[in-house]
Amino acid sequence: MSLSEKIKQLRQEFLAELNDAVSFKDFENIKVKFLGKKGPVQALMLELKNSSPEERPAHGKQINDLKVEFIALCDENLSRMKLREMDERLSQEAIDPTLPGRRHYLGRMHPVMQTMDRTIEILMGMGFSVRLGPELDTDYYNFEALNFAPDHPARDMQDTFYLNNEWLLRTHTSNVQIHTMEEFSPPLRIVAPGRTFRNETISARSHVFFHQLEAFYIDRNVSFADLFATMDEFWSKLLGEKVVTRFRPSYFPFVEPGLEVDVRCTACRGKGCRLCKQSGWLEVCGAGMIHPNVLKKGNIDPEQYSGFAWGMGIERPTILQHDIRDIRMFWQNDLRFLSQFP
């Protein structure tokens, strides 16, 4: 069979298959079959070498015209089928204008995050810089460098999630203290917000994770007077009114001396109510002067520098502010609860 006859026969086969095609996929398969690198059109091009020099130009033109025709017919039918299938799909997705519209709800910031952002904003206005730390950290940064000896009884106060003997989920954001001291030199005025974890029974008053904010200030001649003034200023700004503070001695391994900070109940003005459990005071945070051993672990000379640190949970002031009875409500993702906060 001559090359001209093969070209004619191939054209007839192509048109027959094209006539039988009924879908977009069928036309795609025909285009690949006849025009692919291993298709019959490419095979004809390879046969040109067998033609005589006189016939080769004419045969080459015939093959090229055949290829152009195949491409044009395939593309034309592919475009037609694509539009047809799109029309069919759109007709099935027709919108009924009589149906009620779908309401789009505006997102809201979580109430705990609102308190966190407000707290950070106040402290930044007081000269503190934000510093974040790892939630997964080593025992050294979470305990040892903060003056918790391996057999220190204070470790029993914090039920810890351990991954192995070295790594754990941090129990407080105090781990940021040592990371910061190792990287920067005093003066340091840092606020470290974040999420912390403790292996506790979930109840109305406790959860396995909560949010905490740690603040510390290290410089020459930092004293208790600086801590007291900072507490008065901060809590007055956070609670929106001038507060009365009370300081009670307490113990934390990483501060010496340590204390608990109370503010006079903003609901009853110290007379006693359900919110303050009839005491007239609300416990708001723990604080103290940074222990010399902690400064040494951070490569800071305690003979030259001193500092104070204090930490607070974020959920507690949020609960007090909104009179929430159960901490679990924060993390149940119930829109009926969360939508109440502007």
Inter-residue contact 285 to 261 (CB < 8 Å) = yes
What DSSP letter does each residue of 56-83 carry, written as one string? HHHHHHHHHHHHHHHHHHHHHHHHHHHH
Residues 40-81 have pLDDT tens digits of: 877 777 777 777 777 778 877 887 887 888 888 888 888 888
Provide the pLDDT confidence category of residue 309 given band limits of 50, 70 and 90. Answer: very high
Would you tell me how many other CB atoms lie within 10 Å of the CB of residue 271? 11
Q: Please give the helix or strand (H or E) that residue 227 lies within, else none.
A: helix 224-239
Q: Please give the helix or strand (H or E) that residue 87 lies within, else none.
A: helix 56-92
Would you tell me how many other CB atoms lie within 10 Å of the CB of residue 283? 16
Question: Residues of the chain with pLDDT > 70: what percent?
Answer: 98
Q: So what's the pLDDT on residue 156?
A: 65
What DSSP letter does each residue of 128-160 carry, written as one string? -EE----SEEEHHHHTGGGT--TT-GGGGGS--
Cα 179 from Cα 140, distance rounded (Å): 11
Most confident of 58-62, 287-291, 315-319, 320-324: 287-291
For residue 224, count CB atoms less than 10 angstroms from its CB and return exposed for 0-12, middle for 13-18, buried for 19 or more: middle
Mean pLDDT of 92-113: 81
Q: Is the pLDDT of residue 135 over 80?
A: yes
Question: Residues of the chain with pLDDT > 90: what percent?
Answer: 36
Mean pLDDT of 138-160: 81
Residues 36-50 have pLDDT tens digits of: 877 887 777 777 777
Residues 210-269 have pLDDT tens digits of: 899 999 999 999 999 999 999 999 988 988 778 888 999 998 889 999 999 988 887 787
Mean pLDDT of 281-310: 93
AA identity, residue 214: E
Q: Is the pLDDT of residue 150 over 70?
A: yes
Residue with tokens 């359900």: 274
Provide the pLDDT confidence category of residue 194 given band limits of 50, 70 and 90. Answer: very high
Q: So what's the pLDDT on residue 296?
A: 94
Inter-residue contact 176 to 184 (CB < 8 Å) = no
87 beta partners: none
pTM for this predicted structure: 0.66
Closest CA to 160 of 148, 151, 169: 169
